[in-house]
Every structure is written in structure tokens, then in C-alpha cells.
């Protein structure tokens, strides 16, 4: 193996420089995330005076307790959990049902269906025609406008099909089929139990998408009670408005409240992103495999 | 004559046999058709039905009359869009931000993946790689929020640094000149690790024999990267580049919308944000549909062109 061959001095230097560069890049990538985590646990006043942080400054959790009192955030959190669970379930079931027949060799019409599905990746009706369709279906301002229009990503469907095609032994299906096992039972009893890695990847891909999406809700959801967390975040982080949390009166404590509000922003970023940042390293093995399969052109 | 006669007799028979064959195959696959039907109807309703609605770009859409019943106006909406004084500005912004993004966003993950690939300690490689794609999992709103934390003129880290160096502060979002770099480089922060993953996957598929052969031939590290690793991942590079060129007109529209302020509109207004504002906010459905159609057609043409070029050059292509 090449790794056992002795390195020349030049190659040692190369490796050292490479290591330093990668460490530097990793710090650059990680620092903004750590900064927010530290800032959320810092005293907002000290943060305001000097924002440079390498660790929490004046440790306090007061920003977090302020979040707990904000109703908007918790309603948004609840809605996002609902949309993510319902949406991801629909995504995964629909993608499996669409991908499985395309993976079968004897499926008559395979190419026509594949073309019909993949063409949508490259050309679409656009924002307004899509909006009009949802309007005529009467799903505007309901959860269905968020979970149905994106029920299948053609890209994920192709990854899934490629997995079924390459990872499930063909003989297994044929013998089950010869034993009189129907297509649906075959899918349920044989194919799915062998496909847990790719299903985990799909749950992650679609789940992250639902958790993080804001634009569909911005267009389709007008009722504040139905806002997902990301729209609440948009108001607080981007549009800079914190309703209910701070009274607008300009008095002695006005400055303090403005500063406290900066602390709340850091804490809300942590609260909203933590579920994903905790889960992804655990699932990373799975989706690296999923990408590997998807990288094989099918 | 004789042969012709025979053919004309045979043809209906052959057709009948073929029809029989087709119906047999359809019947045999009945279960699979049932399984695929939800996906089929999904694509028909949410991807092909909107194509029917594209016609409103050539009509004066009135909700009361419906898509079919609204009067035709020809190219009126397109003319209005092309002749508007802002047309060239938003076209320039769209293409400029995209090309800048491609110029940075295509090579950077490749270089990062090459650097990762040189590690001998694979567990360390996995660790740094996992760190590198953490930002991929935060939402675009949070990413822009974090960017604002850093560039804020009142209490941002970058301005605190600038302040301690030369005492001046910059309101980055109010300066049109900063929009493109802010957009592209913050996008690189969020996307570089995830994009490099695809290249790492492709690199792990290169046979170690090739590296050994190159080593025995006296190739040093750079030559091994140049002559073995890069050709090995070239198909992945081509496919991903075609796909990103096909998305050139879309920019990172959800993110542009968040980073826009009234002060930086001259460099931040792109076709898709304009389409959103005129269509959803101002309810000019037909005009917005025309803008969207223009956008999608250009995208599609670019995709076809670059796919054809890649094919011509003997490289991998999408189809």
C-alpha cells in the first residue's frame, strides 16, 4: 500500500502545510457557529461593548429564559415539528413508491416514467403557475400547501432508485416473485428491510429541508398561528422586530432592553438549530453512504 | 410484387401480435403501476399542471375568468419587462452574482476535497470533514442572521475588528458594493463542506493501484493529484458543473431576498426576487409569470448548451 511507503522530506512538508491549512479552514468554518453558542450564554451588556468572543463572557442564561416566555416562538416550534413530521413521512413514502417500480428490470414503461419524473428537475412552470395550481386546489393557508407541492424530489427519487437497483440482489426479488409474492409484499417484506441506510438518508434530507424552509410558508401561510419557526426567526433576526417581548416605550431601561434583545437573537439561533446540529453527526455515516450511491450515475 | 403482397398480409398479424404482447406486459406489471401511481399523479398535478398555467404569461390573467378564459395579449408582458429601465440592472445582477458564485463555488470544494484526501489518518479526515459541513444544516434564515451578527455596524465582530485597527466602521448592507462578495463568500462558508463530500465520495472510488503505478513511475505528490486524482473525479466535476450552470438564473433567491435592503437594491435585485415581488406582493400574475418564463427558458437553454458541449468534448453528460 502507498501509505506504507516512506515519505520524502518534500512530502512531509506538503503534509504539514496541508494539515495547517485544513485546521485553519476548519476553525474559520466552525467559529461563527461557536460564536453564536458562546454569545447566547454571555451577558448581553458585555457582549454589546465588545463582541469579540473566544468563550462565554459573563456566563448567564437570561437570554434563554426570555425565549421561554415568548409565545410566538413556541407556537412556531410546535408548527415546525408538525410540518416536518407530516411532510417527511409523505416524502419518504411517496419517494419509495415512485422509485421502486423504476428499479425493476421487467417494468414496462420504465423509460417513459423516468423521463416524466426527471424532466421536472430541469424545467418548471415557475412561481406563479405553481401558486395558481395550489390556489385552485384550495390548499392555500393550510399545512398541505407546505407538504404536498414538494412531496417528491426527483433528485432523491433517482438516488433511491439507484440504491434499489444496485444494493438489492436481483435474485432475491426474482425468487420471491416466483414463489407468488406480489409486488407490494415484495417491497414491504424484502426490499425495505434491506434499505434502512438509504431511508435514513432520505429522512434526513427531507427532514432538514422541512425544518429549514421558509419561502413556501412565506407565500402560502397568512395565519400567524400557523407560522413555522423559520418565519418567526425571520421577523426577529432579519426584520429586527420582537413582538410581545419588549414594550416599545422609550424610558430609562430602553437601552438595556435593546441590548437584551441582541442576546435573545443569539439564543434563538441556538434553540432553533440545535436539533439538527445534534443529530447530523450521528447520521453522518448514513448520508455519506447515500451520497456515494447517488454519485453512481444510473 | 410478391414480397409486397406477403408483407401487407403479414403486417396486421404482426401488429396484432405486438398489441397482444403489449397488453400482456401491461397486465403483468399491473402491481407496479399501482405502486407508482401516487408518484405519477403527484408529478402530473404539481409539475405538469403548472405548465398549462404558463399561458397566462401571454394573457391578461383575470381570476374571475380563469386561466383558459382570460384574453390573449401576445408578448405585451415580455415587452414591458424588456423595455423597463431596471431590466439591464437585474439581468446584470442575476448573471453577475451567479458567475461570481460559480467561479468561487466550483473550484473551492474540489480543492478542499483534494486537501482532505491527502490525510493518511482517515479518522482525522472524517472528523474535519464532518466539521466542514456542519453549516449545511442550518437554515438560510439562520445563516443570514449569523452573517448579520458579524457585519452589524453597531455590535458586529468584523466592525469591532475594523474599529480597533483604523477606527472606522462600515455599514455593509447599506453599501451596494459589498453585496456580491457578502453573498458569495457567506454561501461558500455554508456550502463548501457539503459540496466537497461528493468529490470525496468520487475520490474514494479511485483504485489504489493507480496511485501505486504512478508512484513507481516516479510521480511526486502533485503529479499524482494532477494525473490520477483529478482525472478520476472529472466526471463528477462535469456533472455538478452542468447542474450549477443550469441553475445560473436562479441564484440563491431565498437568501438574496433576506439580505436585500432598500439601500443595496441596485446590486441585489435579481430576476427571481423581482418576480416574487411583482407576482406575490403586487399580484401582477401575468407579468410575473412572463418574467418567470423568461428565466426558466434561459436556464433550460444554458443547461442544454453546456450538456451538449460536455458531450462533444467526450465528457460525461446528464443524458
* pLDDT of A205 over the 90 cut: no
**How large a percentage of chain B has pLDDT more than 70?**
94
CA distance A171 to A164: 13
Question: Could you give the angle at which helices B230-246 and B179-203 cross, rounded to 10 degrees?
Answer: 140
Q: Look up residue A214 and give its three cell numbers.
A: 421558509
Has residue B67 been placed in a domain?
no
8 Å CB contact of A208 and B137: yes
Has residue B301 been placed in a domain?
yes
Comparing CB atoms, the residue among B38, B161, B235 nearest residue A97 is B38
**How large a percentage of chain A has pLDDT more than 90?**
41
- Among A26-35, B14-23, B232-241, the least confident range: B14-23
8 Å CB contact of B46 and A297: no
pLDDT of residue A190: 85
pLDDT of residue B51: 94
pLDDT of residue A298: 38
Same domain, B266 and B155: yes
pLDDT of residue A216: 93
Cα separation of the two ends of chain A: 31
For residue A251, the distance in angstroms to the closest alpha carbon of chain B comes to 21
Q: Look up residue B247 and give its three cell numbers.
A: 441553475
Contact B261, B271 (CB under 8 A): no
Write down the residue that cell numbers 455515516 correspond to.
Answer: A285
Closest alpha carbon within chain A to B38? A94
Same domain, B248 and B298: yes
CA torsion sign for A148, A150, A155, A160 is negative
pLDDT in tens, B262-316: 888 899 999 989 999 998 888 899 999 999 999 999 888 888 888 888 888 766 6
pLDDT of residue B83: 93
Contact B248, B302 (CB under 8 A): yes
Class of domain A71-225: mainly alpha
Same domain, B9 and B135: no
ipTM for the predicted complex comes to 0.88
pLDDT of residue B26: 80
pLDDT in tens, A240-249: 765 444 445 5
Same domain, B125 and B241: yes
8 Å CB contact of A230 and B139: yes
- Enclosing domain of residue B49: 2-56
Comparing CB atoms, the residue among B142, B201, B316 nearest residue A269 is B142
8 Å CB contact of A108 and B156: no
Comparing CB atoms, the residue among B34, B289, B300 nearest residue A129 is B289
The total domain count for chain B is 2
pLDDT of residue B109: 95
Closest alpha carbon within chain B to A117? B43
For residue A129, give every residue at least 6 positions away whose Cβ sits within 8 Å of its Cβ, in sequence order, or none: B50, B51, B52, B53, B54, B56, B289, B292
Neighbours of A194 (CB within 10 A): 14
Distance of CA B230 to the CA centre of its chain: 23
| Three-state secondary structure call for residue A119 | helix
pLDDT of residue A295: 53
Domain range annotation of chain A:
2-68+242-295, 71-225
- Select from A15, A161, A142, A151 the least CA-distant residue to A88: A151
DSSP A57: S
Has residue B62 been placed in a domain?
no
8 Å CB contact of B279 and A187: no
Contact B81, B289 (CB under 8 A): no
pLDDT in tens, B85-138: 899 999 999 999 999 999 999 999 999 999 998 888 888 888 898 899 899 999
pLDDT of residue B319: 67
Same domain, B159 and B291: yes
pLDDT in tens, A99-133: 999 998 888 889 999 999 989 988 888 899 999 99
8 Å CB contact of A182 and B134: no
Has residue B61 been placed in a domain?
no
pLDDT in tens, B165-214: 877 888 888 888 999 999 999 999 999 998 898 888 888 888 888 888 88
Contact B134, A277 (CB under 8 A): yes
* pLDDT of B11 over the 70 cut: no
For the segment B218-243, the average pLDDT, to the nearest whole number, is 86
For the segment A194-220, the average pLDDT, to the nearest whole number, is 91
CA distance A37 to A51: 13
Amino acid at each position: 500500500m502507498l501509505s506504507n511507503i516512506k515519505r520524502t522530506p518534500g512530502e512531509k512538508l506538503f503534509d504539514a502545510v496541508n494539515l495547517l491549512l485544513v485546521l485553519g479552514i476548519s476553525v474559520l468554518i466552525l467559529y461563527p457557529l461557536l460564536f453564536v453558542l458562546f454569545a447566547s450564554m454571555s451577558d448581553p451588556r458585555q457582549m454589546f461593548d465588545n463582541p469579540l468572543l473566544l468563550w462565554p463572557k459573563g456566563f448567564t442564561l437570561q437570554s434563554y429564559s426570555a425565549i421561554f416566555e415568548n409565545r410566538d416562538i413556541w407556537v412556531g416550534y410546535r408548527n415546525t415539528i408538525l410540518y416536518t413530521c407530516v411532510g417527511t413521512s409523505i416524502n419518504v413514502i411517496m419517494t419509495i413508491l415512485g422509485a421502486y417500480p423504476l428499479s425493476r428490470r421487467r417494468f414496462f414503461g420504465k423509460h417513459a416514467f423516468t423521463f416524466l419524473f426527471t424532466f421536472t428537475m430541469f424545467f418548471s412552470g415557475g412561481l406563479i403557475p405553481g401558486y395558481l395550481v395550489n390556489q385552485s386546489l384550495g390548499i392555500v393557508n393550510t399545512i398541505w400547501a407546505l407538504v404536498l407541492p414538494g412531496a417528491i424530489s426527483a433528485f432523491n427519487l433517482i438516488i433511491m432508485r439507484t440504491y434499489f437497483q444496485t444494493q438489492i440482489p436481483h435474485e432475491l426479488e426474482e425468487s420471491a416473485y416466483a414463489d407468488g409474492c406480489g409486488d407490494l409484499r415484495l417491497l414491504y417484506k424484502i426490499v425495505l428491510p434491506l434499505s434502512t441506510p438509504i431511508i435514513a438518508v432520505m429522512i434526513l434530507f427531507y427532514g432538514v429541508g422541512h425544518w429549514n424552509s421558509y419561502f413556501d410558508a412565506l407565500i402560502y401561510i397568512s395565519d400567524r398561528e400557523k407560522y413555522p419557526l423559520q418565519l418567526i426567526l425571520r421577523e426577529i433576526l432579519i426584520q429586527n422586530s420582537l413582538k410581545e417581548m419588549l414594550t416599545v416605550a422609550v424610558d430609562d431601561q430602553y437601552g438595556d432592553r435593546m441590548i437584551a434583545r441582541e442576546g435573545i437573537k443569539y439564543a434563538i439561533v441556538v434553540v432553533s438549530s440545535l436539533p439538527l446540529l445534534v443529530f447530523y453527526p450521528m447520521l453522518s455515516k448514513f448520508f455519506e453512504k447515500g451520497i456515494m450511491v447517488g454519485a453512481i450515475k444510473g | 410484387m410478391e414480397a409486397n403482397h406477403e408483407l401487407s398480409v403479414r403486417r396486421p398479424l404482426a401488429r396484432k401480435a405486438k398489441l397482444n404482447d403489449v397488453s400482456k406486459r401491461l397486465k403483468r406489471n399491473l402491481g407496479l403501476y399501482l405502486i407508482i401511481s401516487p408518484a405519477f399523479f403527484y408529478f402530473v398535478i404539481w409539475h405538469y399542471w403548472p405548465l398549462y398555467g404558463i399561458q397566462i404569461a401571454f394573457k391578461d390573467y383575470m381570476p374571475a375568468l380563469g386561466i383558459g378564459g382570460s384574453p390573449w395579449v401576445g408578448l405585451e408582458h415580455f415587452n414591458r419587462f424588456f423595455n423597463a429601465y431596471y431590466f439591464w440592472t437585474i439581468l446584470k445582477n442575476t448573471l453577475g452574482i451567479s458567475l461570481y458564485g460559480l467561479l468561487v463555488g466550483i473550484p473551492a470544494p474540489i480543492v478542499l476535497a483534494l486537501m482532505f484526501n491527502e490525510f493518511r489518518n482517515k479518522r482525522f479526515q472524517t472528523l474535519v470533514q464532518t466539521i466542514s459541513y456542519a453549516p449545511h444544516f442550518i437554515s438560510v434564515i439562520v445563516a443570514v442572521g449569523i452573517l448579520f451578527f458579524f457585519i452589524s455596524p453597531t455590535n458586529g465582530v468584523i466592525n469591532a475588528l475594523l474599529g480597533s485597527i483604523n477606527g472606522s466602521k462600515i455599514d455593509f448592507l447599506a453599501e451596494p458594493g459589498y453585496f456580491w462578495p457578502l453573498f458569495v463568500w457567506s454561501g461558500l462558508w455554508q456550502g463548501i463542506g457539503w459540496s466537497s463530500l461528493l468529490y470525496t465520495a468520487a475520490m474514494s472510488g479511485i483504485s489504489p493501484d493507480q496511485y501505486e503505478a504512478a508512484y513507481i513511475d516516479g510521480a511526486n505528490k502533485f503529479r499524482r493529484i494532477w494525473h490520477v486524482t483529478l482525472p478520476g473525479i472529472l466526471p463528477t466535476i462535469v456533472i455538478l458543473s452542468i447542474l450549477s450552470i443550469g441553475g445560473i438564473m436562479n441564484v440563491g433567491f431565498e437568501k438574496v431576498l433576506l439580505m436585500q435592503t432598500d439601500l443595496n437594491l441596485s446590486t441585489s435585485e435579481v430576476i427571481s426576487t423581482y418576480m416574487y415581488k411583482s407576482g406575490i406582493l403586487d399580484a401582477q400574475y401575468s407579468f410575473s409569470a412572463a418574467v418567470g418564463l423568461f428565466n426558466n427558458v434561459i436556464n433550460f437553454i444554458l443547461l442544454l448548451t453546456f450538456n451538449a458541449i460536455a458531450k462533444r468534448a467526450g465528457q460525461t453528460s446528464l443524458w
